[in-house]
Structures are given as C-alpha cells and as structure tokens.
Amino acid sequence: MNVLSPSRAFYGLRHGATDWNREGRFQGRTDNPLNADGITQAHAAAEMLRSVGISRIVTSPLVRAAKTAEIIAAAISAPLTIDNGIIECDFGSFEGLSVRATMEKHGVRSAEGLTSILPADGEAWDVVTERSLACVSGWLERHPDEHILFVCHDAVMQALARSLCGSFFQNRHGTPFCYVPLREGWHVEEVRY
C-alpha cells in the first residue's frame, strides 16, 4: 500500500458547476466562479451532508471550491480551512480547451486516458496524486477523531480514487462521496441521506 495512504475513511466533494464545466473545457487553475447551477448544487450537497456528522471542511483555494465549501460550512456549522494541497491540476496549455476535442486529437477514449497526455507545461499526474494524498493523509492524522470533508476538484478526487482503488469513478458536481478502506482495498461510494 502507498506510504501516503490515508489511515481511515474521508469525504470528498467536487465543487459545484461553472460555465466552463458546462462548456466542457479544461478549467484547471483558471479561477472561474460557480454558475447558478453550481450554487444550487452546493446547497443541495449541504442538505445531503447535514446528517453525516462532518466536523471539519478543507477546501481548495480556487473560488469555485471555496464558495461551495462556504455554503456547506454555513449550513452544517463546521469550521473551514483552505489548503493548496487539494487545488486542481494545472493543465498548462490545455486550460480553456475543449476536453472532447483534445481527447479526439490525441486518440484518447476515456477521462482516465487523459493522464497520459497532459502537457509538459502543466502538472504531472503523479504530482497531483502525491500532493492530494499527502494533504488528505495529513489532515486525517492531525484530526484523528473528526469526519473531514475535502471540497476540491475532479482531477484531485480521481487521483485519490485511482491511487487508492485502482481506477476512476463517475464523479458529479456537488455530489458527496466517501472514500472507504476495506479489507481488500478502498472503495468510493456516493453519500445518500
């Protein structure tokens, strides 16, 4: 098992949607705000998380994640901290480009396949994975009795899932997931309350 593997279960949430998400663009570090749908998704996520017992929220500094986290924190009365360790992948020269057109251009058929064609002027996939695991593991170690929600981005959540579970999963905006350690490995499950 990875040395940086988290010690216990934790929650992850992809921020609410932005206009670039709806347009199917690589967003990366471009600091776009939530759109109206994204704000609605953040409020819906807060309602879903009310009965989970989240005691701390850690968020990416990008405004789309931070605003999502603020809405949830206010609704469930949990402290909120910003951590650069779960900021979105820097997609370099892919930022703003159509994801679908880029996949077609490079002959990639799945989102997971994108990890092999990231541009040299962006962030390497193994770096995204390493920093995300280190961030999550660090918070879990420092707060062993707390249920922690990480409000972040698709690439961060997928990097965690691929490292812990071996593959990507179907991630949706504003949908909370729990990363659960099992005897034979990890599992990502949608939170339904």
Residue 179 sits in a domain whose CATH number is 3.40.50.1240
2 found inside a domain:
no
Q: Is residue 80 part of a domain?
A: yes
Residue of 15, 123, 153, 173 marked active site: 15
| Domain-located, residue 31 | yes
- Predicted confidence (pLDDT) per residue in 145-178, tens digit: 999 999 999 999 999 999 999 999 999 999 999 9
From the list 88, 123, 153, 173, the catalytic residue is 88
Burial letters 36-61, b for 16+ CB under 10 A, else e:
ebbbebbbebbebbeeeebebbbbbe
Our answer to whether residue 146 is catalytic in this structure is no
pTM of the predicted model as reported, rounded to 2 decimal places = 0.97
Interacting residues of 45 by C-beta distance below 8 A, sequence separation 6+: 13, 16, 68, 71, 72, 174, 175, 176
Residue 22 lies in a domain: yes
pLDDT at 50 over 90: yes
Residue 145 lies in a domain: yes
The answer as to whether 5 is a domain residue is: no
Q: Domain range spanning residue 157?
A: 10-190
Question: What is the tally of structural domains in the chain?
Answer: 1
Residue 69 scores a pLDDT above 90: yes
Q: For this structure, is 187 an active site residue? A: no
The mean per-residue pLDDT over the stretch 31-52 comes to 97
